Amino acid sequence: MNVGFDEWLESAARGEPEGLANLWRRYQPLVLRYFRGRLPDAAEDLASTVWIDVASNLSSFRGDEDGFRGWLFTIAHRRLVDEHRRRERRPEHSVSQPPERSSSSDTHDDATSLDAALALIRRLPADQAEAVLLRVVADLDVGVVAEIMQRREGSVRVLVHRGLEKLSVLCQKPVTDEPRSTMNEVS
């Protein structure tokens, strides 16, 4: 039986683990991709904090599936900003761990392609990377992305356009995983 989003949301809001588990299964991959596009070494930890916030505050959420996605990625964006601020206050030298991989060769190829795409996105300026991840990876509407980033819709469209243009140029160059951005560009 395929239960729909509304039933999952209601179930999760009542505190039923199955409802939250269904929401997690549907959205966790997107949340992880979002974080891997910005801070791959902290993606799992940041995603965990997002789901803790979701579980803690789900009873107060009102809206449909699109609204939930916007709410979820607003929380994710805030956790990302918090993590950047924490790193600025307490710089540390961390070793990036590669994401876990499945043994299937098809899954490995997909994961390698995804890792390469996210490495390219990390080479964008922070605001462009953020806009591309929210608009393309999270599949959020421009208005929702603008609200999350606290920018005008036109600004988001320009950031996404420039980011995608730059990615097209970067696809022609060898991939290195050197982020070019700082947190100051995000806010």
3-state secondary structure string, 113-163? Answer: HHHHHHHHHHCCCHHHHHHHHHHHHCCCCHHHHHHHHCCCHHHHHHHHHHH
pLDDT band at 70 (very low <50, low <70, confident <90, very high): very high
On average, the pLDDT of the chain sits at: 84
Output the CA angle 72-73-79, nearest 5 degrees: 100
Sign of CA dihedral 113, 115, 119, 125: positive
| Tens-digit pLDDT profile for residues 156-175 | 999 999 999 999 898 886 65
Q: Which domains does the chain have, with CATH numbers?
A: 1-92 (1.10.1740.10), 105-181 (1.10.10.10)
Q: Cα(56)–Cα(185) distance, rounded to whole angstroms?
A: 30
pTM: 0.75
Looking at this protein, which amino acid is placed at residue 125? Answer: P
pLDDT band at 183 (very low <50, low <70, confident <90, very high): very low
- How many angstroms separate the CA atoms of 186 and 182, rounded? 8
**Higher-confidence position of 109 and 75:** 75
